[in-house]
Amino acid sequence: MSQNEEPIVDKFAGDVIAALNVFDPDMAEQIIGSDPPEEYGILIQGTRAVHTMMWGALRQHGLRDTQSSLRAGAQALVMLLQIVNYAFAAGVRHGRATK
């Protein structure tokens, strides 16, 4: 990674950390409940599809399946799914608050 790219990566890493600090997993689970609605599953499925499409595009442009790249891809998927989980929980919480 070039020195020019490092500040950009740091900025995005900060954005990810901020998003992941909105809730904690237990709080999100309590808000959503043990039986989430169908829309939740659709959002999770869509997020996985986008990640798969991005991974495929990266591989077509030369990304090799190394232990490090596979780990990074898995970590990215976990972060994406967690952010969707938190966003859904925030929506549920907001909906309940406005009733």
For 36, the domain range is 5-97
How many domains does the chain fold into? 1
High-pLDDT (> 70) share of the chain, %: 94
Residue 28 sits at the vertex; the CA angle it makes with 25 and 34, to the nearest 5 degrees, is 105
Say yes or no to pLDDT of 27 above 80.
yes
Mean pLDDT of 39-44: 95
What's the pTM? 0.81
Query: 23-54: string of b/e by CB count within 10 Å (b at 16+)?
Result: beeeebeebbeeebeeebeebbeebeeebeee
